Amino acid sequence: MTISYGALAGLIAAIAFLILVLFTIPMLIRTAKVLKETSATIQTTNESMKKLSEDMDGLMDQTHNLLDQTNDLMIDINGKMKTLDPVVKAAADLGESVSELNDSSKKIAKRFSSNHFSHAGLVSSIAATAFARRRRRRGEN
């Protein structure tokens, strides 16, 4: 039995192809495992993203409600501030009046001190005025 060179070349090619297939089978099995793990990871990621999206929707609803309540609170505060404006203005006017009264009291005290009233003279003039008023009330002249 004689083998021709063409048949020998075909046999060598077939053996090389068989060796190639035998070495690629474990690699293909590992690649299949990696693809399965990758598919599982992608599925887990998709589930996590879905859950995260649902949580974000809930958070956005709560944030929207909180902003609505904040707006209502600000409207209420602004209304109350408008009611307090007259009170604040009245307090400012009272402070101004007290300041004017204080200035007037200082001017009167300055006049009395500039007229050089003695304490005894001042007390006697106040007493005389008080007695005069008392006599007038009683009808005495």
Q: How confident is the model at residue 95 (pLDDT cuts 50, 70, 90)?
A: confident
With 60 as the cut, is the pLDDT of residue 15 above it?
yes
pLDDT tens-digit series, residues 36-51: 999 999 999 999 999 9
Give the pLDDT score at 114. 60
d(Cα 82, Cα 62) in Å, to the nearest integer? Answer: 30
SS3 34: helix
d(Cα 87, Cα 53) in Å, to the nearest integer? Answer: 51
